[in-house]
Amino acid sequence: MKRRELRGRTVVLTGASSGIGRATALAFADAGAHLVLAARNPAPLEDVAELCRARGAQALVVPTDVTQADQVRALAAAAVERFSAIDVWVNNVGVGAVGSFTETPIEAHRRVIEANLLGHFHGAHAVLRHFMSRKQGVLVNMISLGAWAAAPYAAAYSASKFGLRGFSEALRGEMSGWPDIHVCDVYPAFMDTPGMSHAANYTGRRLKPAPPLYDPRMAAEAIVSVAREPRASTTVGAAATALRAGHAVSPLLSSWIGARVVERYLRQADTAPKGDGNLYAPSIGNAIDGGFRHSEKPNRWWMWAALGGALWLGAQAVRRPR
């Protein structure tokens, strides 16, 4: 694959105000790209834009709610009007609602699907015709290891991520006749972002992401890398690779262990008020890092147990007489 030059290219990035999105904006700015930054809250977007401009990049801020197809179309139009073309589009918005399926309001489940799954649909629908008219372009779908290993107590999140994997595979099939239009998926492990702090929480317990946690800048580097050298699937972090392999061998064991880990954590976690998080209103704060890594215990037994157990079950299934 020929390496693509990003300097002077136009990148549209949704979910750009914090976490992986903010880190990705700065990484593209360092690469010399023109940036069109989207999220619901204009104030942190302007902050990110100023940091990008300080790195020598041009940056346009377009406040956008990706659950609204008309706003996403307006985002694409604003990018073309300002920079004449779109070369890379990154669907990066992701929200979550944590709680048992029945105790989580159905409206919250719906909102997660609208943001995570339909938000990516809206982005792809807004830009692919443009790519086809130019016969080139890179669409990057930020997904997560949740597309391979289900997340018990976050059912809508799992549904959206599994759906995104199928969505991307379908698009790649449709785009196979366009050799210079690429649909690329990025599957990061748990990153130390503010995402868990921003998530809707219906458990009544304080939430924190499961270890091991990785620097969000790793995911940003992966996104920039696939924009330069497109490839269908990129996994970020050893934990994501291990859990993906474990799920492939034994999905049932993977989800069973996931549920037991969450239940064990919730039994001992501090109490916290229930709330809708950033489902219906923009997040407060625009940091890249979530601040969880400094308190993380270096205990990764659960990841290796999941992988080892899955591989053992797979081996038993292979040996069993048919």
Q: What's the pLDDT at 262?
A: 74
**Residues contacting residue 138 through CB under 8 Å, at least 6 positions apart:** 4, 87, 88, 89, 181, 182, 184, 226, 227, 230
Q: What's the pLDDT at 251?
A: 67
Sheet arrangement for strand 233-236 = 59-61, 34-38, 10-14, 88-91, 137-142, 181-188, 233-236
Does residue 157 have an active-site annotation? Answer: yes
Q: What is the mean pLDDT of the chain?
A: 89
With bands split at pLDDT 50, 70 and 90, how would you rate the model's confidence at 106? very high
Burial class (CB in 10 A: 0-12, 13-18, 19+), 251: middle
**Residues contacting residue 60 through CB under 8 Å, at least 6 positions apart:** 34, 35, 36, 37, 49, 78, 79, 82, 83
Q: Which of 153, 157, 187, 214 is catalytic?
A: 157
**What domains sit in the chain, N to C, each tagged with a CATH number?**
10-319 (3.40.50.720)
With bands split at pLDDT 50, 70 and 90, how would you rate the model's confidence at 101? very high
With bands split at pLDDT 50, 70 and 90, how would you rate the model's confidence at 17? very high
User: Would you say 278 and 95 are in contact if contact means Cβ atoms under 8 Å apart?
Assistant: yes
User: Would you say 283 and 194 are in contact if contact means Cβ atoms under 8 Å apart?
Assistant: yes
Instruction: Look up the pTM and report it.
Output: 0.88
Q: What's the pLDDT at 314?
A: 47
Read off the pLDDT of residues 305-319 as tens digits, 9 standing for 90 and up: 444 444 444 444 444
Q: What's the pLDDT at 268?
A: 85
Read off the pLDDT of residues 136-189 as tens digits, 9 standing for 90 and up: 999 999 998 888 888 889 999 999 999 999 999 999 999 999 999 999 999 998
